[in-house]
Amino acid sequence: MKIVEIRESTRPISSSIRNAYIDFSKMTLSLVAVVTDVVRDGKPVIGYGFNSNGRYGQGALMRERFIPRVLEAAPETLRDTERDNLDPHRVWATMMANEKPGGHGERSVAVGTIDMAVWDAVAKIARQPLHRLLAERYGNGQSADPRVFVYAAGGYYWPGQGIEGLTREMQGYLDRGYSVVKKKIGGGSLAEDCQRIEAVLKLLGPGQRLAVDANGRFDLKTAVAYAKALSQYDLFWYEEAGDPLDYALQAELAQHYDKPMATGENLFSMQDARNLIRYGGMRPDRDWLQFDCALSYGLVEYLRTLDMLREHGWSARRCVPHGGHQMSLAIAAGLGLGGNESYPDLFQPFGGFPDGVRVENSIVTLPELPGIGFEGKADLYAEMKALAA
Amino acid sequence: MKIVEIRESTRPISSSIRNAYIDFSKMTLSLVAVVTDVVRDGKPVIGYGFNSNGRYGQGALMRERFIPRVLEAAPETLRDTERDNLDPHRVWATMMANEKPGGHGERSVAVGTIDMAVWDAVAKIARQPLHRLLAERYGNGQSADPRVFVYAAGGYYWPGQGIEGLTREMQGYLDRGYSVVKKKIGGGSLAEDCQRIEAVLKLLGPGQRLAVDANGRFDLKTAVAYAKALSQYDLFWYEEAGDPLDYALQAELAQHYDKPMATGENLFSMQDARNLIRYGGMRPDRDWLQFDCALSYGLVEYLRTLDMLREHGWSARRCVPHGGHQMSLAIAAGLGLGGNESYPDLFQPFGGFPDGVRVENSIVTLPELPGIGFEGKADLYAEMKALAA
């Protein structure tokens, strides 16, 4: 049993949208196929992965460092001999040989993307949906719950949008079964942002909620000014007000905003996540953590992050990852996370759910597909099959 | 006045050495040439840069993102019109367009290396040594002091070394004029490391000192055990005991070791450096900070780090950067840092000083060469000229 090849292709996920920090007109991602010599149903098992938006494809780092290390390793050093499978933890350690500690960016995406494909292969070799495999190996003893909370992330700024464009977009999410929607803030003035928020709030019925996201743009003064203005609304959360590494700002902000806050999508290791927990003043009874395994060295590292959270008194239920990919859906179902981000209109065909999965009251139910479940989404699987062909 | 081309070449800096964390057998770096249309002494001005060891060359990231952004920018947006020169701050902002906050690794090396070459070009255009230009623009009003403290970093573990190999190496540094030398710890047992330390201490005369470096390998328990054992010696510093992002470990260690400590070479942004200062328990009266601009978005970001340090009551004198390159020598001379690392036997021809510069009592005196001074080191400049040819 061995990995015989790892392929990568960098794809544009360009779009005319922008958030408060960047525009996406030149954004890319990496699509990866991990080809094994294991045969299931007459075909070689191939695991797939891709990184989520915002941090660019990382094919060059994969080809220079991470893929050669895996392919040059003696196959027995990557095996889970007990289960007759590949061992994602051993693959991970092999990838990270000769990497110094600290400096968690870019390579965390390269490793996270390959790691996703390895877990997809491992679950397929085990003939299980990944969420069931995770519940059995790492869960709390209960079986996986295939029902996962999802919210619709959108409300980016785009040319010619206006309030009408924004409310039309948000109504579209509500019509498709989402009861929690998210929009960006910080791309206009506070007054403009309040107008936009109020326009969306008018659309919402009972039980429906709005989250807002500043994408790390604000300094402390602006973050506090927004906190005071946002306090008048009953928002689902106030996300990433300041620089993701400015834990002091986040902690200070909690003195000015007693409703839920969220952050973490730009922290790419257990160590960075731990610093948020240690120093960021985040409150385990109401705040949300958005670490995204696809950008953060994958599930092997995310398991360390979940252990760290437990040691610090945080429930996995407070995690709602960034990124809108099926890997985090599987983790949410298998390990009891609080839910997952979703981009109904963006980053296709990579984001989203298997075909036929419906959102009802912001809940999706994962189908019983082997692996992560990419084969259930025809447009995505067409790209994956082409890469592996 | 404009940048007409940016070239990059990835070079091996392989070596059989290893520290407590990685071996260097496949290590690479990026050599960069920034070609301008400015003519000095009948030739186009070309700025050069390279990244220091430990984090790999970053040519792919440069070619995919950072070089195109600079070359596609309107030349007037990169100019310092007041001084008829390029503006490194504007070049930096152009490189970092469409980059999200957080995740400071790899790209910090790509940007830092190009930034080095930009400053080299800017000082050459200004017909000044970089250290004098920095003293005038950002210094404390006094002129640059071309005398810089340097220490000899070595004492890596290598096959067949033994105590004899170690002491022979260290004696070689003392013979060449260094009075402070550094060796690695953590690659053997504590007892073995103490034997190695004592063997080196026996070589040292009055005023000569030894620093030790664990390269981030230790957990808290091991770090504290070493702290207790190392307290019996009069070491120059105890460096990077634990994971570079484990500020709590560093702060706890200060409770067990009242002699000088050093860390920071694996923190790659002002924000990460600020977290060390905020949470790491480092003591401005005795500890040392080793942030390396070549790995950390360059001098433009390092100036932000120096501002942050000043705001937190730290003197620039407490900074002795990692990396052993002439860029940090120029910054040290121009902005009054405490000194610079040096690898007399390693990473050649990239490390070291201009030809003819002698180390006396661990002090070097920078020559009056335009730019960073690479043209004064024949073996290094031969590589640079070949890249630009």
Token pair recorded at residue A177: 């079964």
Using a CB-CB distance cutoff of 8 angstroms, which residues of chain B are in contact with residue A100? Answer: 21-22, 54-55, 215-216, 266
pLDDT at B161 (0 to 100): 86
Q: Do A215 and B275 touch (CB under 8 A)?
A: no
Residue B87 and residue B72: Cα distance in Å, rounded?
16
Angle CA A165–A167–A172, to nearest 5: 95
| Chain B residues touching A243 at Cβ < 8 A | 101-102, 271
Per-residue confidence (pLDDT) for residue A345, from 0 to 100: 82
Residue-wise over B132-147: b if at least 16 C-beta within 10 A, else e?
bbbbeeebeeeebebe
Those residues whose C-beta lies under 8 Å from the C-beta of residue B18, and which sit 6 or more positions away, are: B24, B156, B157, B158, B187
B85-114: average pLDDT = 98
Per-residue pLDDT, A141? 67
Residue in chain A closest to B247 (alpha carbons) equals A275
Across the interface, do A266 and B107 touch by the CB < 8 Å criterion? no
The mean per-residue pLDDT over the stretch B95-102 comes to 97
Rounded Cα gap, residues A243 and A250, in angstroms: 9
Q: Report the sign of the C-alpha dihedral through residues B355, B358, B362, B366, in that order.
A: negative
A99: chain B residues, CB-CB within 8 Å? 22
For residue A23, list chain B residues with Cβ-Cβ distance below 8 A: 98
Chain B closest-CA separation from residue A298 CA (Å): 15
* Cβ atoms A323, A291 nearer than 8 A: no
pLDDT of B239 higher than 70: yes
Q: Cβ separation of A246 and B54 shorter than 8 Å?
A: no
Q: What is the dihedral of CA A332, A336, A338, A339, to 10 degrees?
A: 20
Mutation for testing the A interface, residue in B96, B243, B245 having most A CBs under 10 Å: B245
Rounded-to-5 percentages of helix, strand, coil across chain B: 40, 20, 40
Distance CA B189, CA B229 (A): 12
Q: Among candidates A14, A6, A55, which has minimal Cα distance to A32? A: A6
> What is the longest distance spanned by two Cα atoms in chain A?
61
Length of chain A counted residue by residue: 389
- CB contacts, 8 Å: A104 with chain B: 103-105, 245
Selected residues 57-76 of chain A with any CB under 8 Å from a CB in chain B: 60-61, 64-65
With cut-offs at 50, 70 and 90, classify the pLDDT of residue B371.
Answer: very high
B243–A55 C-beta distance less than 8 A: no
- Contact between B100 and A279 using a beta-carbon 8 Å cutoff: no
A23–B contact, CB cutoff 8 A? yes
CATH number of A137-388: 3.20.20.120
With beta carbons under 8 A apart, name residues in chain A contacting B56: 64-65
Interchain contact, A102 vs B267, CB within 8 Å = yes
Buried b (16+ CB within 10 A) or exposed e, B325-355: bbbbbbbbbbbbbbbbbbbbbbbeebbbbbe
Angle at the Cα of A296 from the Cα atoms of A294 and A301, rounded to 5 degrees: 105
Question: What is the residue-averaged pLDDT of chain B?
Answer: 95
Q: Catalytic: which of B104, B124, B131, B322?
A: B322
- Average pLDDT for A187-208: 95
Chain B nearest-CA distance from A2, in A, is 24
Question: B108 and A104 in contact by Cβ < 8 A?
Answer: no
The answer to whether A363 and A173 are in contact (CB under 8 A) is no
The residue-averaged pLDDT of B226-254 equals: 98
Q: Which of A62, A98, A312 to probe the B interface (max B CBs under 10 A)?
A: A98
Q: Does B102 touch chain A (CB under 8 A)?
A: yes
Query: Distances in Å between the alpha carbon of A340 and those of A152, A214, A303, B187?
Result: 9, 18, 16, 42
Q: What is the mean pLDDT of chain A?
A: 95
| String of DSSP letters for A41-94 | TTEEEEEEEEPPTTS---HHHIIIIIHHHHHHS-GGGGEETTTTEE-HHHHHHH
The answer on pLDDT for A298 being more than 70 is yes
Mean pLDDT of A190-207: 96
Q: Does A106 contact B101 at a Cβ distance shorter than 8 Å?
A: no
Distant-in-sequence, close-in-space partners of A18: CB < 8 Å, separation ≥ 6 = A24, A156, A157, A158, A187
- Dihedral over alpha carbons A368, A374, A375, A379 (to 10 degrees): 130
**Closest C-alpha among B366, B264, B236, B260 to residue B321:** B264
Give residue B28's pLDDT: 94
The catalytic site residues of A sit at 184, 322
Place domain A3-127 in its CATH homologous superfamily: Enolase-like, N-terminal domain (3.30.390.10)
Contact state of A105 with B107 under an 8 Å Cβ cutoff: yes
Q: Is the pLDDT at A233 greater than 90, yes or no?
A: yes
Using the predicted structure, report yes or no on whether residue B19 has a pLDDT greater than 80. Answer: no
Name chain B contacts of A107, Cβ cutoff 8 Å: 105-106
Q: Nearest 5 degrees, angle CA B141-CA B145-CA B146?
A: 145
What's the Cα-to-Cα distance from B140 to each of A130, B120, B144, B321, B335, rounded to whole Å? 60, 21, 9, 20, 8
CB contacts, 8 Å: A56 with chain B: 64-65
Asked if the domains at A3-127 and A137-388 fall in one CATH topology, the answer is no
Contacts of A90 (CB under 8 A, 6+ apart): A77, A78, A79, A80
Which chain A residues have a beta carbon less than 8 Å from that of B103? 55, 104-106, 108, 266, 268, 295
Q: What is the pLDDT of residues B269-311, one digit of tens each?
A: 999 999 999 999 999 999 999 999 999 999 999 999 999 999 9
Compare all CA atoms of chain A with the CA of B69 and give the residue at the minimum distance: A26
| Domain spans in chain A, listed from the N-terminal domain onward | 3-127, 137-388
**From A101, A105, A248, residue closest to B244, measured CB to CB:** A101
Dist CA B296 CA B343 (whole Å): 20
A224 contact partners, CB below 8 Å, separation of at least 6: A252, A253, A256
For chain A, say whether B21 makes contact (Cβ under 8 Å). yes
Question: A245–B107: do the CB atoms touch at under 8 Å?
Answer: no
User: Across residues A125-148, what is the average pLDDT?
Assistant: 92
Total count of residues recorded for chain B: 389
Is residue A319 a contact partner of residue A262, using CB atoms and an 8 Å limit? no
Residue A133, pLDDT score: 97
Q: Which of B182, B184, B325, B377 is catalytic?
A: B184
CATH architecture of B137-376: Alpha-Beta Barrel (3.20)
CB pairs under 8 A between A and B: 129
Instruction: Test B106 with A107 for CB contact under 8 angstroms.
Output: yes
* For residues B318-345, average pLDDT: 96
Query: Sorting pLDDT into bands at 50, 70 and 90, what band is A13?
Result: confident
B105–A102 CB contact, under 8 Å = yes
DSSP state of A209: E
- The confidence band for B20, taking pLDDT boundaries of 50, 70 and 90, is low
Contact B336, B355 (CB under 8 A): no
Of B60, B98, B274, the CB nearest to A22: B98
- Which of B311, B315, B271, B269 shows the shortest CA–CA distance to B292? B269
User: Which one of B104, B246, B275 has the shortest CB-CB distance to A247?
Assistant: B275
Instruction: Give the pLDDT band (50/70/90) at residue A344.
Output: confident
Residue B157's pLDDT band, with cuts at 50, 70 and 90, is confident
Contact B216 A245 (CB under 8 A): no
The whole-number pLDDT of residue A157 equals 86
* The pLDDT value given to residue A20: 64
Cα separation of B384 and B389, whole Å?
Answer: 9
Q: What is the pLDDT of residue A159?
A: 82
**Locate tokens 């120029």: which residue?**
B330
User: So what's the pLDDT on residue A28?
Assistant: 94
Whether residue A14 is predicted with pLDDT greater than 80 in this model: the reply is no
Give B351's pLDDT tier (boundaries 50, 70, 90): confident
Q: Which residue in this structure is represented by tokens 């930096």?
A: B92
Q: At what angle do helices A326-335 and A130-138 cross, to 10 degrees?
A: 40
**How much of chain B, in percent, has pLDDT values that exceed 90?**
90
Q: Which of residues 166-225 of A touch B (CB under 8 A)?
A: 215-216
Confidence (pLDDT) at A164: 95
Q: How confident is the model at residue B178 (pLDDT cuts 50, 70, 90)?
A: very high
Residues B106, A101: C-beta atoms closer than 8 Å: no
CA distance A44 to A7: 15
Q: Active site includes B184?
A: yes
Q: CB A266 to CB B101 under 8 A?
A: yes
A295 touches B at CB < 8 Å: yes
Q: How far apart are CA B267 and CA B244, in angstroms?
A: 7
Find, among A152, A149, A148, A178, the residue nearest to A334 by Cα. Answer: A148
Q: Is the pLDDT of residue B169 over 70?
A: yes
The token duo for B203 is 């070589």
What distance in Å separates the CA atoms of residue A28 and residue A26, rounded to the nearest whole number? 7
CA distance B55 to chain A (A): 7
Q: Do B103 and A266 touch (CB under 8 A)?
A: yes
Place of tokens 């230790």: B218
Tell me the helices (H) and strands (E) count for chain B, helix number first: 13, 13
Q: pTM of the predicted model, to two decimals?
A: 0.97
Q: Count of CB atoms within 10 A of residue B11's CB?
A: 17
Instruction: Identify whether the C-beta of residue A322 lies closer than 8 Å to the C-beta of residue A341.
Output: yes
B150's tokens: 């340097």
Q: Are A318 and A284 in contact (CB under 8 A)?
A: yes
Supply the pLDDT for residue A278: 98
What is the ipTM score, two decimals? 0.96
Judge whether B105 is closer than 8 Å to chain A, CB to CB: yes
Omega before residue B370 within 30° of 0, cis: no
- HSE-up of A313 (CA within 13 Å, CB side)? 8
Q: Please report residues of A whose CB lies closer than 8 A to that of B98.
A: 22-23, 26-27
Contacts of A54 in chain B (CB under 8 A): 100
A261-263 and A288-289 strand pairing: parallel
